[in-house]
Structure 1
Amino acid sequence: MRSHRLEKMLLGSVQLASQTVVIEHEDTMDNKDYKNFVAQDSFLVSWLLSTVSPQLLRQLVGVVSIVEIWITVNKFFVSSKERELNMQSYISQIKEICDALATSGSPMSDQERIATILGGLPTEYRLFVTIILDNRDLITLDGVISILLDVELQQQKNFEQFNGLSISANMDQSFVTNSSQDAEANTFSSLKGDQS
C-alpha cells in the first residue's frame, strides 16, 4: 500500500471527491479524482477481502469501502478482546493481519506491531502497557509478546488462587457456622438436661 501511496485511503484521511465538476457556464463533467478514488478503493477492498481469514471475512459481509473494512476489522479485534480471547489467540490474529499487509507489499515495522498489540489490550493491562511504552527502546516485539503471555499466565494463577481462597473461606465459614450451631445445640441440650 505504501508503494502505491494508498495508506491514507485505508486510514480515511483521503476525502471522496465529488462525482462531477462544474466547468464553464454551469456545465458539468465527470471528475477524474472521483474515478481514481473509486478505482483505488475497489482495488483495496478486493485485495483485503482476499487476504483475510474466513472467520474475519464473515464480519465483513456488506462492507463496501476500505475505510468501512478497516473500522470493522478494528471493532472485530476489540470485540474479540472483550470476548476474552486468550493472549496467544489475540496475538495470532494481529499477526495474521500484519502478515496480510506484508504480503501486499505494506509490511508493518516491529514498533507498529507493538503499538497495534498494545492498543487493543483491555484495561487490566494498562500498567504493563505503560511499562512497555516507557521502555520501548529496550524491548523487542518478541519481548513484548513474552511479557504479555507471562502476565496472562500470572493473572490466571492469581484468579485460581483467589477462587481457591474464596471456596476455602466459604467452607471455613460453613464449618464455623455449623460448629457454633452444634455448640449452641450441645449447650442447650446440657442446659435442658440440667433442668430435668
Structure 2
Amino acid sequence: MVLAVMVMTVVTGLALNNSVFSNKRVSVTLDKINYLLWKQQILLTVRSHRLKKLLTGNVLPPAATVVLGGGVMVEKDEYEVFVTQYNALASWLLSTIDPSILPHLVGAETAEIWMKVTIIFANKSPTVKEVCDVLTACGAPVSEYEQIVTVLNGLPPEYRPFVVVITTSSYPLSFDRIASMLVDAEM
C-alpha cells in the first residue's frame, strides 16, 4: 500500500511538476471494523501530498487541449498530470481496502470511491466486541468484565429485568453468553 505521487508546486490547488516522487505506506487496510483509523491515515497521507481536492472531488480537471496561433491544437501538460494523479490516487486508495469491500467500489473513480466508502461506513456503529478487539490489537486489552459492564450500562430501561438476572447470577456468565441472551430477548 504505497502511494507514489508527485509532490509539486501548486497550480489551481494541485501539484503539477512531476520531478519529485514520494512513497507513503498506510499500515491499515480498511475492513469492517477500522474505518476511523483507516480514514485518519488516508487523510493525513492525501493532505501531505496536497491531493485532498482530488479525493473529495472539489477540483475540476484543467482543459485537455489548448489552441495555439494558426488553429493548432495541442495537449496541455497540466491535464496529463491531473489524469496521472487522479488515477494514481484512485489505484492507491483501492489498494488500501480489504478485498471483501472492493465489489462495492467497482467502476468508481477517486472521489466516488471516497464518497461510497464514507456512505458505507459513516453510519455503521461498531459493536462493543469490535471496539474491544481493536483495542486489544493496539495493545490495550479490555477485560471481559469491563465489556459486560459497558454493555449492561448501555441498555435501555426495558432490559432492567435481564440486567438483574445477569448481575445476581450465582455463576459467572461470559460476554458471549450475555450477548446471546440479549439477542434472544430482542426477538
TM-score (normalised: structure 2): 0.45
- Larger Rg belongs to: 1
Relative to total residues, which structure has the larger strand share, 1 or 2? 2
Relative to total residues, which structure has the larger helix share, 1 or 2? 1
TM-score (normalised: structure 1): 0.43
